[in-house]
Amino acid sequence: MIKKFLILTLIFISFSSKFSYALVEIDITRGNLDPLPIAVSPLFVHKNNLKNKEFKEIGAKISEVIEGNFKRSGLFNPLSKESFVQEPEIAHLKPRFEDWKLIKAQALVTGKIELENEKLRVEFRLWDVVAAKEILALAFTTVPNNWRRVAHIISDKVYQRLTGEKGYFDTRIIYVSEAGPKNARIKKLAIMDQDGSNNKYLTLGNELVLTPRFSPTNQLVTYLSYFKNLPRVYLLDIETGIQEVVGDFPGMTFAPRFSPDGKKIIMSFAEGGNSDIYTMNLETRVVEKITDHPSIDTSPSYSPDGKYIAFNSDRSGLQQIYVMRSDGSNVKRVTFGNGLYGTPVWSPRGDLIAFTKVRKGRFYIGVMRTDGSGERLLTENFYQEAPSWSPNGRVLIFYRETKSNAKGEGFSAKLWSIDLTGYNEMQIETLTDASDPSWSSLLTK
């Protein structure tokens, strides 16, 4: 009986398979790499606050700041507001997706602002226009003067929701502001938002300052300053303005950088024509020698997990990049290409090292894997160096100098940014000439 049943089912299966079709499978391996078209509607102002003229403009300003961030990122294409059909108020409540589809928008940002007990309340929504649904909605309350910061936070949230990685808009950049003739430059420490606004000077310009670097908490800055013609590594608290010398070294210290936990400063100490890498614990003030070699070892940079250090050294005869364990053991040369390599900076993602390369008198900013493979040169110029990573590891900021003529005119130094694709290169506007930029981590984590 069971045998018969089994045979029957087998026959049935063998017949039935003749009438079923194999699932059609299609591989889509190509697509459109153009920036995503996004519409950022002006944030509408609550009717109770329309009389307040200053406040009335904030809604439009916030949307402009968001648009600016998106445009600079190179990943989004903010659409012209002139093509918007729907009023901001209605769009925020329930957008007519067909209207937004018509102007080819794939995502839409709408929002509303109101003043509640002297506090600014900003509400925003992100809509997937094609799927016709809301995909993100958040509200923030802050003091009205803080509206720019809110715009950056909204940009970060939208960026993260649409790209899958954290944004980098709510960040600051510390740099060296330069003014005056090339042989007598006045250099001050300056800090600004990543889009160039809210510029502030941290030092007066009496002493020469170089290579400022943020601590992971963004509250402290370590930099090199010449005090009484002696270059030393300093530590500055941005909020209190208190400044101190790092360590009691008998000679010159330079190229400082924080460890990922913010507890140590790693730097170079030069004595008698030899420079080695040292760390100083900021809590215990204990100084530790990391490298011990008769060559020049400098520009140390920790990996994000704090286990490795990348640095450059001329121990092979030419300046090249090396990687070692954080205790100084297991030193390995990672660059073998033609030219000189310097200023290695470990990516916050941990997968890449950015560097400056000099070859045949030209300067390149490039990236490579941490073992030195996969070198990619992103940009080339007459003089450029000192790359610093955005907190999400997608963009590099660096400075570029232009050549001066025989009279010494025409010299300038400007900040530039480039993303990992190497295509989205742009200048960052600064009030004065600028060099040695360092990107902070995200202010809101």
Partner 1 sequence: MTKSILLSVLFHIFMIFLTILTFPFMTKKPIDLPPILSVELIQISDLTNIPFAPKAREIIEKAKEEERLVSEQAPPSSKKKEKPDKIPLPNDEKKKKEIVKKKQNPEEIEPEIKQTSDFEKKELFDPNQIAALIDKAKEETAETTKKQKTLTQSSIKSSIISGLTLSEEDALKAQIFGCWSIPLGLPYNKNLLVRIKLKLKPDGTILKSEILDHARMNSPGQGFYKVLAESALRAIRLCQPLRVPPTGYEKWKEMQLNFDANDMLKG
Instruction: Write out the residues near partner 1 by the rule CB under 8 A.
Output: 21-37, 74-75, 106, 128, 130-131, 135, 159-165, 349, 351, 394, 421
Bridge partners of 185?
Answer: none
Nearer to partner 1, 23 or 184 (CB): 23
Say if CB 433 and CB 177 are below 8 A apart: yes
CB of 157 to partner 1, least distance (A): 13
CB of 41 to partner 1, least distance (A): 19
> At 40, is the secondary structure helix, strand, or coil?
strand
Nearer to partner 1, 5 or 19 (CB): 19
Distance CA 103, CA 84 (A): 8
Around Cβ 160, how many Cβ atoms within 10 Å? 14
Sign of CA dihedral 189, 191, 197, 200: negative
CB of 417 to partner 1, least distance (A): 15
CB of 33 to partner 1, least distance (A): 6
User: Tokens 């080695």 correspond to what residue?
Assistant: 276
CB of 161 to partner 1, least distance (A): 8
Torsion of CA 230, 236, 242, 243, to 10 degrees: -10
Task: Please choose, from the candidates 295, 301, 440, 291, the residue with its C-alpha nearest in 3D space to the C-alpha of residue 370.
Answer: 301
Distance CA 288, CA 371 (A): 26
CB of 31 to partner 1, least distance (A): 4
Nearer to partner 1, 30 or 403 (CB): 30
Which residues have CB under 8 Å from 369's CB, separation 6+? 351, 352, 353
Nearer to partner 1, 11 or 131 (CB): 131
Nearer to partner 1, 421 or 427 (CB): 421
Nearer to partner 1, 32 or 284 (CB): 32
Distance CA 304, CA 136 (A): 30
User: Tokens 């030393």 correspond to what residue?
Assistant: 232
